[in-house]
Structure formats: structure tokens, C-alpha cells
Amino acid sequence: MEIKKINSLKNRMGTNSYLIMDNNSAILIDAGISPDDILKYNINLKAIFLTHCHYDHIMFLNELYNFYKCDIYISEKDKNGIFDESINLSNVFKRNFTFDGNKSSIKTFKDNDIIQIGNFNIKCLLTPGHTAGSASFLIEKNLFSGDTLFAESIGRTDFKTSSPLEQKSSLERLEKVDFLKLYPGHSRMSDINEQKTNIKQWLSNY
């Protein structure tokens, strides 16, 4: 398994998307990149997993779906956000994004669901706070935390559907997760040793 962190020049919000490859098959964590950003890898994209519904993480969802016709996974509570520009905040950027693909391709998951796609086993962890349905994904001790936890900070909780109390609970949960490397939705990657200290620090602020 190989993990590629990709940032699109067309996405000015510094959003990390992760292409996880096994031979010529792959899954994508977050749709902050376009098909042009991954064509050079010559892969068959099997699925897109969304950590949450904010615009910078879904802005190329239509293009990716139209190109690859793959399934899209998102939590039940954030599903409506890909169809509502006031929830995904694209209206703030005057883009008014809504998903226009086949609705049957949108799949939802529950907490602790393990989704198997080819050789990938993706454990879905609900980590609300940044949004009502924020999720993290655990793949072979690699934690993809979206905007719940960053290398040096945590996600904001002043958006529509945000909750500081849920964010606190989610940080308490991630503190107990057995992972080795952290792949956040923005900024640099990290590891469990750094994050055990950071999470304790952030929790002490509540």
C-alpha cells in the first residue's frame, strides 16, 4: 500500500487529499483535488471517502465522479451537506456547490463500520465537532483525521453544524485510537507520539 498526499494548485485553501494505492487500484480521501491531479498515477479509482462536507474537501467531487463513476462514502449526518451550499459553505466563496451525480452512488456509514474495497479495509470513526458528521478513517494504523485534528492544532467549531462539546469528545476518542501516522486535512503529517501530547494540551483548554 502506498499513500500519496496531494494538494491541488486549483484549491487555494491548502486542503490535503490522499490517494491510497495498491497496484493499479486506489481510493481517495477527500475530493480537494481534480482528476488532472491524479491522472499521472494511472490508477483505477474505486471509491472516494469524505471526512466531512465542507467545500474545500468536496470541491472536485463532481469532476471526480464524472470521470471515475466511483462510489462516494460520507457519514449520514454530513450527507445533506454535499447537496446544500449553505451547509458546505460554498456559498461563502460564491461557488454554490451541490453534487450533481447519481445519488445512488452516495453511500453512508455508521460509527466503527469497516468497509472493504479490494485489498483496502477502511474503519470509519465518527468524530463530530468541526461538522455534525465529521469522520476519521483508520487504514492499517494510518489515521486520516480530516479537520478534526491537525499536526499542530484542531478544527474550528464556529461553523454551521459545529459543536465544541462534540469536538472535545472526538479528541478524547482519538487519544485512545491505536494509530502510528496522522494524515490531517490541512498542513503537515504527524505521528502518534506528537499527537498524544498535543491532544492532551488541547483537551486542557476545554
Residues 181-197: pLDDT tens digits?
A: 999 999 999 999 999 99
Write a three-state SS string for the chain: CEEEEECCCCCCCCECEEEEEECCEEEEECCCCCHHHHHHHCCEEEEEECCCCCHHHHCCHHHHHHHHCCEEEEEHHHHHHHHCHHHHCHHHHCCCCCCCCCHHHEEEECCCCEEEECCEEEEEEECCCCCCCCEEEEECCEEEEECCECCCCECCCCCCCCCHHHHHHHHHHHHHCCCCEEEECECCCEEHHHHHHHHHHHHCCC
**Which among 195, 173, 78 is positioned nearest to 125, based on CA atoms?**
173
Statement: residue 111 has pLDDT above 90:
yes
Residues 62-92: pLDDT tens digits?
A: 999 999 999 999 999 999 999 999 999 999 9
pLDDT at position 12 is: 86
pLDDT at position 59 is: 96
Provide the grid cell at 27.
Answer: 481510493
pLDDT at position 206 is: 80
pLDDT at position 93 is: 86
Residues 10-57: pLDDT tens digits?
A: 898 899 999 999 999 999 999 999 999 999 999 999 999 999 999 999
Statement: residue 109 has pLDDT above 90:
yes
pLDDT at position 150 is: 97
pTM of the model: 0.97
pLDDT at position 205 is: 82
Please give the domain boundaries of the chain with CATH numbers for all domains. 2-203 (3.60.15.10)
